[in-house]
Structure formats: structure tokens, C-alpha cells
Amino acid sequence: MSALDKLFAQAVASLIRIKLGEKTFFLLEGRLKERWGISVVEAIKDFIKFDATLREFFGAGADAIEHDILQKIFSLQSSKKGASLLTIENEDLAKAVLETYGNSEKRQILNSAFKDPAPILDILEGCSIPKSTGYRFVGELINDGFLTESGYSTTSDGKKVSKYTSLFSEVRIDIKLEELVVEVLIKDEVVTESNLVKVLQGKF
């Protein structure tokens, strides 16, 4: 599952609901639960299942629906070697980024994880946060897609432990009157893993 797709899933589902209307949205979700036992949000994270089900309802018209929705979520352009500049177009998602990076404890965790991808315990040891609070925030960051797995480390007894890193290498937030503009730098390897990016680029 792509970390970027996980981050975007809720916003995409909300716009799908508006575009298709309540009745069709619930029919779509019912079909997803019938086939795979998952919700629309969960299917978007695993986009192949969402795409296949949407095509049951709309055939080739699913392409236009998906592209129209994703244009309202984000735009992407090359920035520098190894990274891309992603502009978040969706207001709810932009607010989520603002709230996450506006939380000093979560920002500490993300900064620590970006500098040196590491197991959760090691990340928290580099932050001045109580462990109980830290684990709760880490869980939220992983669930929301801001922290993503980045390989493994091996413990002294031979067990593999997941390492985590921040999804974004840089975040730029600009508030202009009533407009919130959020731009993030993201590693190209993360971008290429995203099915939603492939859809927007016409490569899915």
C-alpha cells in the first residue's frame, strides 16, 4: 500500500461521495463490501480494487471520474533531482497537513524520522516526548500516512523491526486571506509507488 495513497484516501472518498451522490456512493460501497469486505476509503488505499469496482458501474467513464477527482486533490511537478513538488489542492487535506505540522510533538517525530529512518522506539528516544504520548502520536501519523515504512533493522536476537521515515522532506504552508496553500517536497520513489499519481498522469 502506497503511503501517499493512504494519505489521500479520505479526501478522495469525500469527493467521490459528492460527485456520485449519496445513493450511488452507498451502492458502490455495498459492492466493495460484498466482493472484498472493505469500505470505499480502504479500497482507495488499495486502488486496483476501487478502480475495478468503479468500472462495474461506469465502464470506461470511470477514467474521467477518477481524473476529475484527483485534479481537485493534488498537482505534481518535478522540483529537483530525486524529489517532486506536490501541491495539495484539497482544502480538507491541506488543513490536515497544517494541523499535523502545527502540533509540536508530531513535528518532532516527523523531523526525527526524516533525518534518520529508524524503528519507532529509536525515533521516540530522539524526541522530548513522554513515551505513552509518543506512541499514540506515532500511531496516528502512520494511520494518516505521514509516517511510512522504510526498510527494516535487525535486533540483537535476530528479529526484524520496521523502520519509519517521514513522507515529506519539506513542507511549505502559505495562508493568503481565506486561501490555504500547502506545497510539499516528496521523494520520487514514494511518488512512483502511488497508484493515484499514475491515474492522474494517465499511466494506470
90, 183: one domain: yes
95, 149: one domain: yes
Burial class (CB in 10 A: 0-12, 13-18, 19+), 104: exposed
pTM of the model: 0.85
109, 65: one domain: no
The total number of structural domains that make up the chain: 2
- Residue 31, domain extent: 3-73+193-200
160, 80: one domain: yes
149, 160: one domain: yes
Tens of pLDDT, residue by residue over 54-107, are 999 999 999 999 999 999 999 988 766 778 899 999 999 999 999 999 999 999
**Measured on CA atoms in the order 60, 62, 63, 68, is the torsion positive or negative?**
positive
66, 97: one domain: no
139, 67: one domain: no
66, 113: one domain: no
